[in-house]
Structure 1
């Protein structure tokens, strides 16, 4: 695992993706017009078609965030979806954070990725990052993301890293 701190914070994933020449045909989206259960099934089908081979799709890279409660994707602390092992995409109808209905990748998919980058910014993330990165509080959803064969890196701004005492690399720019 690698932790890097950026003084001004890293660029947002949306900003990054807008700079890449990715054809629309290679962008898989969740259909918000469908009921949440159907949207999850539809997205799982799209992923299986695009990433054929293994029962669990293997992404080259996932860029994830972490919430102040330790959630990532739409996987929340103490939620039954943390135990999901069969589905690669799951609906959630009782999200503790708006909107209540969401679609999320499951932990088996996250942990099958070749590389995972977590991006966390702001003082509001400092306490949970200490719990995850120093206290090794392994029950928080973001802490459960441990790629089996890949790399895990954390990109933090100074505000998010302010409570950490573990060694990390400090950079002035990306």
Structure 2
């Protein structure tokens, strides 16, 4: 692993542009090396922040992007719980990403079949990898320390073979979801967590500093050969005692 970087911003307003630059810089690097940029997206507050900041970039070119989802709710695309639906409305419909570059679930399938179908889509997209190697995964973390749809004390935390796993008993609604597994997450070239707000302060300290860290799913994200960023704001970082980076205004990651 290239090492963990914990980068603290005064507020989400300063964090957003740095996140957008991280995405576009990794995209340029990937396209120059491999002819495409593969990115895994997460939902929640990340959707609006990422969409707003990327759309503010004047020269954004998504024509060689391939976007998948770190997890997804098994609901119709017009349901407000659909992560793809949110990105479609706020981002995909406004950029030049081809339809073939967006890897979506089939929400009409039962949850187990939906996970199998999405696994097949990822295998076609990453035919040479045992586990898909994304250029960048963007993750969030819940107040319970979950990430993707990998929740504390859930059997899926120990999954080692599946690429995409079904979950029908999510403690957070909606209950039926599909999620990338840790072998996929930890195969990525770069993983970036975005965590903001004071409600995350206690769990963030435990994940980054605590002896019980591995008990939290987010603490198990340790890319084998990749970069790991934690991009957080001052309220989320309020309890941290480890050394962190505080970039000057406009600094690039």
* TM-score, length-scaled by structure 2: 0.65
Match of 2:183 in 1: 108
CA contact (8 A) 1:6 1:173 kept: no
Match of 1:51 in 2: 126
| 1:7 pairs with 2:83 | no
SS of alignment partner, residue 124 of structure 1:
helix
| 1:81 pairs with 2:84 | no
Match of 1:63 in 2: 138
* TM-score, length-scaled by structure 1: 0.94
After superposing the two structures, state which structure 1 stretch, 18-27 or 131-140, moved more.
18-27
5+ residue gaps in structure 1?
none
- If asked which structure has higher relative contact order (CA below 8 Å, sep 6+), I would say 1
| 1:90 pairs with 2:165 | yes
5+ residue gaps in structure 2?
17-45, 63-96
Q: How many residues align?
A: 174
| 1:125 pairs with 2:159 | no
How many angstroms apart in 2 are the aligned matches of 1:7 and 1:29? 35
The alpha-carbon deviation at position 173 of structure 1 amounts to 5.2
Higher helix content, 1 or 2: 2
SS of alignment partner, residue 109 of structure 1:
helix
The alpha-carbon deviation at position 24 of structure 1 amounts to 2.1
